[in-house]
Amino acid sequence: MIELKNISKIWKEFQLKNVNLKLSEDYTILLGPSGAGKSIIIKCIAGILKPNSGRIYYNGEDITDIPPEKRNFGYVPQNYGLFPHMTVYKNIDYGLKLKKFGKLEREKRIKEISEFLNIDKLLSRNPTTLSGGEQQRVAIARALVLHPKILLLDEPTSALDIHNKETIINELKKIGELLPIIHITHDFLEAKMLGKNIVFVSNGEIVDYGDKEEIFNNPKNEKIAKFFGYNIIKYNGKLYGVEPHNIIVKKYNSNIKDELAGEITGMYDFGHYKKLIISLNDSTIKSIYYGDDLNIGDKVLISFKKYVVLND
């Protein structure tokens, strides 16, 4: 669907270095830390930024020089970008008017999309009076009403509280069945919940790309593993990546010799489970524990249910 060939771009303090990427129509997440260059990729696809070098293709057609107004790619920025001098209705109507749709068609489409996204009661309101979640839905409605070829979302949940975040994630899942979505986030849990494909971006480069299961279960290197929340553990000269729920914690027993010994240095009680901070020889790891018999200062033994050996 979208293909980036040798894209380089310097924009503000960010830099994209010779990016090559071929995206399918599946829900795609651009994942990576802040400042990695994810926004530049999405802005280049939208046509807002023009790459310094390289070409962008949509279904085989070179669209590098096509201005954003002629691409019909929906774009929702991080802060939603609602026009503060227009009502919600006029915000959604803006693109339809520009594309010269008739009055009846415009009204029909606005009605449909506002019911679909549950914003039909907000149409006469001013965007500044809406909550973050409502603004987000209006911004998505404004993009979807034009029946775009793709929807580009820049950190759509970063400014929302946990409740609104879950609602939007559910809605995005629904929307993802209607059209291809490219979604930027720095939150790997969000990526896990939504993405079919994951593109891991770091320092302006594509570090890893592939199916979600493949990417999350086999982090390519220590840096990616850390970003995905893996514990990095050095043992017998090898570097292991272990997710917190794959660490088995037992009370220390001097008879068992082949397991790693450590000490609990922190404990967070979440009710039905506890998050433990365990100090090993030269590192600190996190694990999940369901029992009640451990305390800070206790010596423990740890083993792994599942792990990956990291390349470097």
Partner 1 sequence: MFKDTFNKNMVNYWFMASFLIISVMIFLFIFIPIITMLLNPGDISTAIADKEVINSLLVSLKAAFTATVIALIFGVPLSYILSRYEFLGKNIVEAIIDIPMAIPHSVTGIMILTVIYGTPIGTVLKNYGVMIVDNFWGIVVVMLYVGIPFMINTAKNGFSMIDEELENVSRTLGASQIKTFFNISLPLIKNNLISGSILTFARGISEVGAILIVAYFPKTAPVLILDRFNEYGLSASKPIAVIMIVVSILLFATLRIFQYKNNRDS
- Contact of 127 with 83, CB cutoff 8 Å: yes
Number of residues that bind partner 1 (CB under 8 A): 28
Tell which one of 43, 106, 109, 165 touches partner 1 (CB under 8 A). Answer: 43
Q: Which is nearer to partner 1, 78 or 279 (CB)?
A: 78
Establish if 99 lies at the interface with partner 1 (CB under 8 A).
Answer: yes
Tell which one of 1, 3, 48, 222 touches partner 1 (CB under 8 A). Answer: 48
Establish if 44 lies at the interface with partner 1 (CB under 8 A).
Answer: no
Establish if 233 lies at the interface with partner 1 (CB under 8 A).
Answer: no
Establish if 209 lies at the interface with partner 1 (CB under 8 A).
Answer: no
Establish if 81 lies at the interface with partner 1 (CB under 8 A).
Answer: yes
Tell which one of 83, 235, 252, 268 touches partner 1 (CB under 8 A). Answer: 83
Of residues 195, 228, 207, 219, the one with CA closest to residue 21: 207
Give the list of residues 6+ apart from residue 111 with CB closer than 8 angstroms, or none: 120
Q: Which is nearer to partner 1, 113 or 215 (CB)?
A: 113
267's tokens: 């404990």
Q: Which is nearer to partner 1, 33 or 67 (CB)?
A: 67
Token pair 């506002």: residue = 114
Of residues 286, 290, 284, the one with CA closest to residue 276: 286
Establish if 84 lies at the interface with partner 1 (CB under 8 A).
Answer: yes
188's tokens: 């790997």
Q: Which is nearer to partner 1, 150 or 207 (CB)?
A: 150
CA geometry: angle at 55 spanning 51 and 57, to 5°? 120
d(CA 105, CA 254): 76
Q: How many CB atoms lie within 10 A of CB 207?
A: 18
d(CA 156, CA 124): 23
Tell which one of 11, 58, 94, 240 touches partner 1 (CB under 8 A). Answer: 94
Q: Which is nearer to partner 1, 21 or 143 (CB)?
A: 143
Work out how close the CB of 8 gets to partner 1 at its nearest, in angstroms, rounded to a whole number: 19
Establish if 85 lies at the interface with partner 1 (CB under 8 A).
Answer: yes
Establish if 175 lies at the interface with partner 1 (CB under 8 A).
Answer: no
Work out how close the CB of 294 gets to partner 1 at its nearest, in angstroms, rounded to a whole number: 47
d(CA 18, CA 296): 49
Q: Mask 51-80, x = binds partner 1 (CB under 8 A)?
A: ----------------xxx-xxxxxxxxx-
d(CA 257, CA 286): 22
Q: What are the angstrom distances between the C-alpha of 112 and each of 98, 108, 117, 120?
A: 19, 6, 9, 9
Tell which one of 32, 37, 51, 95 touches partner 1 (CB under 8 A). Answer: 95
Q: What are phi and psi of 247, to 5 degrees?
A: -100, 125
Q: Which is nearer to partner 1, 132 or 244 (CB)?
A: 132
Work out how close the CB of 49 gets to partner 1 at its nearest, in angstroms, rounded to a whole number: 9
Could you tell me the end-to-end alpha-carbon distance of the chain, in angstroms, rounded to an integer?
A: 34
Tell which one of 9, 106, 109, 142 touches partner 1 (CB under 8 A). Answer: 142
d(CA 109, CA 114): 8
Q: Which residues bind partner 1 (CB under 8 A)?
A: 43, 46-48, 67-69, 71-79, 81, 83-85, 94-95, 98-99, 139, 142-143, 146
